[in-house]
Amino acid sequence: MNLLLHICCACCLCAPVQELRKEGFSVTGLFYNPNIHPLLEFRRRLKALRVFQESDPIPVVYYEEYGLREYLKHVDYEGNDRCADCYMMRLRFTAAYAKKNGFDAFTSTMLFSVYQNHEQLKGFSEKLAHEAGVAFVYRDYRYLSDCSHEIAKKKMIYRQGYCGCIFSEFERYQDTTRELYKGGNLNEQGKKNSRYVFDSKRALQRCDCFDRGKGASFPAPPSDTAC
Ligand code: SF4
Ligand code: SF4
């Protein structure tokens, strides 16, 4: 069966793609993610998938245009449910692409993430499959999440620190930003909200200008996946 797999980055792909193949699916990837911002982050994730392809030559259809405007057009970003619109935008495109290009079915790596709304994704996919007239392959590979991320780490594949949109980037780092620039530690609330605690001493030791007593740019936070 020819399966079109929507891929948002390589992290949730590494292990599940092997399972899908074991089941006999012939998998083609689709990189369509107008929700990833800002531009350089979008390019990083796109490149991560290309790096993945170097060791696993899965065919992938890339939509390489940066989709900030497209995302904003589709998503009610002032309401409370932007993720539902965002899921819909990407799944609708995937279902339509699968139908138009003769795939037997579609699915998405979003379903393999422990951080996404799994039930909502499943419901939307079933609805869109019905509307588009193409099958949806439902699999719950969330139990492979750790394994998948370990493989990504070993392959030196970039692992992002937030879900994708500029809002999720803010939500992820809002409690760290100010302190990062001060070079201090997080306040108590920040520690509670964030999985990343800034270690200013370590950062300064790694800073080239430390010996000269100048303040300088700090290293980027570790890219521990948070979506
Ligand atoms: S880590 Fe997030 S962006 Fe990457 S594949 Fe999984 S759900 Fe998509
Ligand atoms: S948090 Fe993730 S799923 Fe939700 S709108 Fe942003 S990119 Fe889309």
Instruction: For residue 96, tell me if it sits in a domain.
Output: yes
User: Which of 200, 173, 161, 197 lies closest to 184, judged by CA?
Assistant: 200
Could you give the CA distance from residue 209 to residue 3 in angstroms, rounded to a whole number? 52
* Length, in residues, of the chain: 227
pLDDT in tens, 125-167: 999 999 999 999 999 999 999 999 999 999 999 999 999 999 9
Instruction: For residue 158, tell me if it sits in a domain.
Output: yes
Instruction: For residue 225, tell me if it sits in a domain.
Output: no
* Probe residue for ligand 2, chosen from 70, 71, 86, 124 as the CB with the greatest number of ligand atoms within 8 Å: 86
pLDDT in tens, 38-63: 999 999 999 999 999 999 999 999 99
Instruction: For residue 211, tell me if it sits in a domain.
Output: yes
pLDDT in tens, 4-18: 999 999 999 999 999
Residue 204 pLDDT greater than 90, yes or no: no
Instruction: For residue 15, tell me if it sits in a domain.
Output: yes
Single pTM value for the model: 0.81
Instruction: For residue 132, tell me if it sits in a domain.
Output: yes
Which tops the pLDDT comparison, 191 or 215? Answer: 191
Instruction: For residue 226, tell me if it sits in a domain.
Output: no
User: Which of 81, 71, 103 lies closest to 6, judged by CA?
Assistant: 103
Expressed as residue numbers, the domain containing 166 is 1-220
CATH of the domain at 119: 3.40.50.620
Domains contained in the chain, number: 1
Atom 6 of ligand 2, nearest CA residue? 165
Instruction: For residue 86, tell me if it sits in a domain.
Output: yes
